[in-house]
Amino acid sequence: MQTLIINIKELLQVRESPIIKVSGAEMAVLPTIKNAFLLLEDTIIVDFGVMENCPKINPELTIDATGKMVLPSWCDSHTHIVYAGNREQEFVDRINGLSYEEIANRGGGILNSAKKLHETSEDEIYNESKVRLEEIMSLGTGAVEIKSGYGLTVEDELKMLRVIKRLNQNYPITIKATFLGAHAFPNEFKDNHQGYIDLICKEMIHKIAEENLAKYIDVFCETGYFSVSETEAILKSGLEYGLIPKIHVNQFHSIGGVQVGVKHKALSVDHLEIMNKEDLESLKNSETMPVALPSCSYFLSIPYTPAREMIDCGLSIALASDFNPGSSPSGNMNFVVATACIKMKMTPEEAINAATINGAYAMGISKTHGSITKGKKANLIITKPISSYYQLPYAFGSNLIDCIILEGKIIL
Ligand code: NIG
Ligand code: FE
């Protein structure tokens, strides 16, 4: 089936050669074609160019995009959208003065979500999670990474990962699964860290690899959660089973998590709200993608990742939503892009690169996603008529999406 999109006011993120990420000064460049056409065949982008060169064909479907922009779907490389219930009471507790850490220390936080997940059936978790998945698809996300990490027992971690697998089978959005058994220590292992690490390394990882339920492994490396040496032990066990690291680091403290991620060739290190010089240095010349999560900074009122400084010293940045019930109950990548511009002083070009091609890199899928390139997936956003792509971050809070195409099919 051929679909031809014509009269596109501006086609964004056009990459003739298949680059896999952009770094430093390259991030300021967003290649575009004005007055463009785009041709899709089945699930793939097969041609694009200026309207003068539009092929004279008779496709099954023609979409007139006069006045509209077309860009690749958002690539959200860090979410926890499979969960049960919500944590709105903790939200109000924080308004009334408690901190995220104080709430966690009195048994709330991640352990609160783990309790709810334990009490909820797999089908019910699926039904709750698919609503969130459908919502982010309608907001322009075409590829998403989803983590486990609210199970914290063998059975409940597997339950979460099976839900992720089922979502992947039933929806046209691309989904990559990450095992995050090392999200928090369950109460029964509070004074026996090694016992829980053994459970992760000797049981969970083995079962997950056997059922092929995850591609990546994550650890919350943070004061009060997993230490640097505990993180390293877990990453090493995962790597033995082919699970590639993608880790939570430097959300509240800089304790060496970035360095351990780079050492073990993590695909990404995520959060990075608190960064010192050594952290920045260790990322230079590495293959590891730094990922910023501005919705989490916004929601918890914690510092934003110093993206400006990072880009100015030549690093890459990807942007992701961190959609989860505790620190970012929103998966809206349009808001993420706007907040990166407004609060982190990223330019619109940098933010769009960070939320497309670099987000794809942070999921290991930038050969197939994240840009308008022949042979890549036909996952697209068509905007409403807008004056320029600056509108995307400028008119934050407005929904500027007119149409969503995933795998070559119109879904909205
Ligand atoms: O990325 N920081 C660790 N994990 C999540 C939040 C988990 C939660 O509060 O439920 C995050 O922010
Ligand atoms: Fe997270």
Neighbours of 388 (CB within 10 A): 11
| Helix extents (H) in 142-293 | 154-170, 193-198, 205-210, 228-240, 257-263, 277-283
Topology of the domain covering 2-72+369-410: Urease, subunit C; domain 1 (2.30.40)
- Assess if CATH 3.20.20.140 describes domain 74-361: yes
Helix (H/G/I), strand (E/B), else coil: 318: strand
Cα angle 260-262-265, degrees, rounded to a multiple of 5: 110
206 carries a ligand binding annotation: no
Query: Residue 183 CA: which ligand is closest?
Result: 1
Neighbours of ion ligand 2 (CB under 5 A): 322
The number of CA neighbours under 13 Å toward the Cβ of 132 is 28
Cα 283 to Cα 126, 211, 297: the distances in Å are 37, 33, 21
CA of 110, closest atom in ligand 1: 10
CA of 222, closest atom in ligand 1: 2
Main-chain dihedrals φ then ψ at residue 94, nearest 5 degrees: -70, -40
Tell the residue nearest (CA) to atom 8 of ligand 1. Answer: 326
Q: Spell out which residues line ligand 1, taking CB within 6 angstroms.
A: 109-110, 113, 220, 248, 251, 296, 322, 324-327
Tell the residue nearest (CA) to atom 12 of ligand 1. Answer: 327
Residue 291 Cα to ligand 2 middle (Å): 10
322 carries a ligand binding annotation: yes
Give the integer Cα–Cα distance in Å for 62 and 55: 12
Query: Residue 113 CA: which ligand is closest?
Result: 1
Best residue among 222, 301, 324, 330 to mutate for probing ligand 1's pocket (most ligand atoms within 8 Å of CB) is: 324
Query: Residue 79 CA: which ligand is closest?
Result: 2
Instruction: Determine contact, residues 267/244, Cβ cutoff 8 Å.
Output: yes
Segments making up each domain of the chain, as ranges: 2-72+369-410, 74-361
Give the integer Cα–Cα distance in Å for 199 and 196: 5
Residue 102 Cα to ligand 2 middle (Å): 18
For the chain, which residues score pLDDT lower than 70?
none
pLDDT at 116: 98
pLDDT at 301: 97
Residue 61 Cα to ligand 2 middle (Å): 40
Best residue among 152, 322, 327, 328 to mutate for probing ligand 1's pocket (most ligand atoms within 8 Å of CB) is: 327
DSSP label at residue 243: P
Strands, DSSP E only, in 251-298? 268-271, 289-292
CA of 296, closest atom in ligand 1: 12
198 carries a ligand binding annotation: no
Q: Which of 280, 277, 370 is nearest to 319 (CA)?
A: 370
pLDDT at 253: 98
Residue 46 Cα to ligand 1 middle (Å): 39
- What is the chain's mean pLDDT, rounded? 98
Pairing of strands 268-271, 401-406: unpaired
Cα 114 to Cα 128, 163, 187, 296: the distances in Å are 15, 15, 11, 20
pLDDT at 17: 87
Say what the pTM is: 0.98
248 carries a ligand binding annotation: yes
78 carries a ligand binding annotation: yes
Residue 199 Cα to ligand 1 middle (Å): 21
Residue 147 Cα to ligand 1 middle (Å): 11
Query: Residue 82 CA: which ligand is closest?
Result: 1
pLDDT at 18: 83
pLDDT at 107: 87
Residue 92 Cα to ligand 1 middle (Å): 17
